[in-house]
Every structure is written in structure tokens, then in C-alpha cells.
Structure 1
Amino acid sequence: MELKKLNMINVFPIPAFEDNYIWCLQESSGTDCLVVDPGDASVVIDCLNERQLTLKGILVTHHHWDHTNGVEELLQHCSVPVYGPHNAEIKLVSHRVGDKDKIKLLDTEFEVITTPGHTLDHICYIAEPNTDSPFLFCGDTLFSAGCGRLFEGEPEQMFNSLNKLKQLPPQTRIYCTHEYTAANVRFALAVEPENHTLVQYAEEVAIARAEGRETLPVLMAQQLEVNPFLRTDKTSVIEAVIRKNGDGVYSGADVLRVIRQWKDNFQ
């Protein structure tokens, strides 16, 4: 797995299940680390042992099992703080955090962004928020060329959450927790087949996956050009919605609702 150096932290994925990434943040000059959304403790423990790392904290974005099931076993392995949303269903969270709360870990500042939509309790963590190139751990809110299914939230909530993320600096590195990019790109091309940046990105993604490489992280600047869920104000996306759903006046949340439903049934 390739290390990706960001500021004073190296970030790399620990693959889990079929397509999850548990992100590990390691001090670039030490062995202390954090993990984000550890759904599987065994792969994290194997990584800690292999790399001789010391776990110092856990960040959780939402309550779904594939993001939380490894927390209990990891706490048996080492007693560390667990940060997560204000949701009692996630029982082992020791530090419950909400919008604009700040955390200092590994000598790095993290700020919390609430992003309901995929779930009502969903939060994201942005590291180095006051720099030109922060990095974002966004769970299942935002994917490369896609967004999370609306299991609990409403389209308006997801629209507002994605709009928050759109305001981040263009050089923000986005770390999602699933390798969904290839499927998302196929759908994005159905929405915007004439988007030349997207067509080129699709080629890059196909090569990366054929070679067994991750497609993440991605930059916000790129996602603003290829991700239809961040482009609900673009004429090409609105026209695709009209072709799909019929004439009408569509708000941004309406556009998101139509393309999210379209994606849910896309083959």
C-alpha cells in the first residue's frame, strides 16, 4: 500500500470486507497512529503489528456496522479515545462531537462537519482545516463521482451537507470509505456523457482498477468537475434530470433527489 504524505501525517488505506477502506493516519516521524471507521478489528491489528504502530485514537463517522464493528475489539487491544457522533447507538464512543468541534490528535487539528443524509448522525472530519490543502475523512457522505444512499436522511439534508463540503478548498484531499469509483463513474457518464473531464477520469479509473490500485484519495477540485451530486446547479445535470423525470422547475435538492433515485436503480 502506497503511503500518501500530508503535512506531518502519512495516510494509507487498510482494505476491509469487499470494498471498505479503513484509513490509517500515521505520524510521518513516528509510530503513533489513528484509524477512521474500523469496521474490522483484525485487519487493523494485523497492520499495527506489521508496521509496529501504536494506536492512539479512533474516529467514527456514523453508526453503520461496517464502520464500527471493530471498535470493541480494538479497545480490548489498546485503550484509546473514540470520537464519534452524538448517537447512543454507537455505545463505545468516549468523545461525542458535533458541528465545528475541534480535536487535536497526532499534533494535528481536526474539525467536525455534520453531514446528515446517508444517516442522520453522519459527521466528517477535516484535518488541517485552516490550511490551503486540508484532508477530509467523509465516511459515506461523499464518494468519488458519487454520494451515499439516503438510508435515513432526506434529499434536502444531503444537498445541504454536500454544499458544505463544496465550500472546502479545491485542494482538499477526499478520503471516502468505499472503493465505489468505477461504478459511480459509469453512472456519472449516464448523466453527463459529454463531460470531457469525466470521460478522461473514467479512463484513468479503469486503468487504476485494472492494475489493482486504489482510486482514492481525490481532490475536491476534480470532484467539482466530475461528480454529478456536486453539480446539481449545472445545466448539463439539470437537463439530464428533465430528460429523466420530465419538465418542471427543479431546486438543487430536487435535482439531487432525482439523480440519487436514478443511481439507486442504475444497472
Structure 2
Amino acid sequence: MLKYRQYQTLQQKLTPQQIQYLKLLQIPIVQLEQKIKEELEQNPFLEEGLEQSIEEMLDLELSDNQELDQAVKEELKEEYEELTEEPLPKPEEEFTLEDFMRSYEDEEATIPKTKDVIGEDLEDELPWQPPAVETLEEKLLEQLAPIANEKEMRIAEEILGNINEDGYLIRSVEEIAEDLRLGEKMEVTAEEVEEVLRKIQRLDPPGIGARDLKECLLVQLEVGDFPEDRKNLAIRILNEAYDDFMKKKI
């Protein structure tokens, strides 16, 4: 025979929101960020905002079980502070756009304006430009200008364009003269190129444009301030025993 009885039991059940929040707490941060990105892509009504979303999450009344709600809120708060390394912002610490603009205007008013020597604001000055660096070719042409005519200056430009990084001339005077005759339609001989080259070699630095080390040393001895007897001996060694000198056969 069937009997009907009435029992009184106490059960605790989680709401779907609580179950979802507890699942989120178990997800690693990398996967959680990926899941948030996927939700943002799928739902156009969602907006990215970590502080606002967690703050609103903590203010929700999840169910009638206040103890469980409080535990969930504490877990969410700890996760947020570990993620951002800073406590949740308090409502009284929030600022509006008007507060920000007002504080900016007050700060700007307290900063004195610096004026230059002619009394104009620094804002009106021209922007800073790096100082121009004068190249070696420009320095040599500047030294050569007082002792050379227009034709010689053009020959000098061609010579300087054929000097390598070590300061040696990489083309012969005959080739340079031929280049000027063909490219510039200039009537110039190898002797004229040689004469301009000789002037360039005696500029500062002396020996620039030499065709080899021997020529460079001879030019430096010629223009250097050395005792006459030692200078003549050094020139004689280079001219008569250059190979022995380079091999240190003293």
C-alpha cells in the first residue's frame, strides 16, 4: 500500500551565474584573456573594460545565500588585485573630465613662462637643428680656393672624388684627365691634373691624395717642421732604400 510522507530537508544550490563565476576563477589568466577576446568578437554589445566589469560583478546580488556571495566576491577581488597589482578603485576616487580639465588649467597657470633674450616665448623659437658637419672634401676645397682658379677647382673636385677611405688616390692622373675630357668636355692634360694633385697633397692633412705610402711620407717630410739635416736624411732613406726601410732592415 502506498504511503505519502512529508520530509523537510535543507539543500544548497548554486545559481547559473555562480557556477559561471566559479568556472572563470579556475581558468588560467592566458586562457581567460583569450575567452574574453572571443566573447568580445562574438557579442558586439560587449565592451572591453576590466575595472568596470569586475567592479560591477562584485556589486551583483547573486542569490539569497549571502555567505556564498561574499566568498565569491572575495575570490574575484583577490584575482583582480593579483592581475592588476593594485586595489579596486573606490567610487569617491573617480574623477570626471571636468575635474581633469580644471586641474590641468590650474597647473598650467602656476608654471611661469620662460622668455628668451629678445622677450619672445620659447614656443615661437625655431625648432632645434643639429649642427652641420663639414666633410673632409669641403675642408680641402675651402683651403684650396685661395690658391686655385676655377678650372683647377673643378679638377680638384674630380681628384677628391677618387680618393678612398684611407686617403689614397685610386685612379691615375691620366684617367682623371680623360674623365674630365669626356664627361665635362674640358680641355685638360695629365700635367695639369698632376699640378692640382700636388697642391692638394700639401693641404691639411698633409699627404692626402698620395698614390702610395712612400709618396705620403715624402710629402709629410717636405711640409713638416723638422731639422734640415734629419729631414734630408729621411728623404734620402725613402728614395734610395724604401724597401729595406719597410722591411725594417736598419
Q: TM-score range by the shorter chain?
A: under 0.3
TM-score, length-scaled by structure 1: 0.23
Give the helix-richer structure, 1 or 2.
2
Using CA pairs under 8 Å that are at least 6 residues apart, name the structure with larger relative contact order, 1 or 2.
1
TM-score, length-scaled by structure 2: 0.24
Give the strand-richer structure, 1 or 2.
1
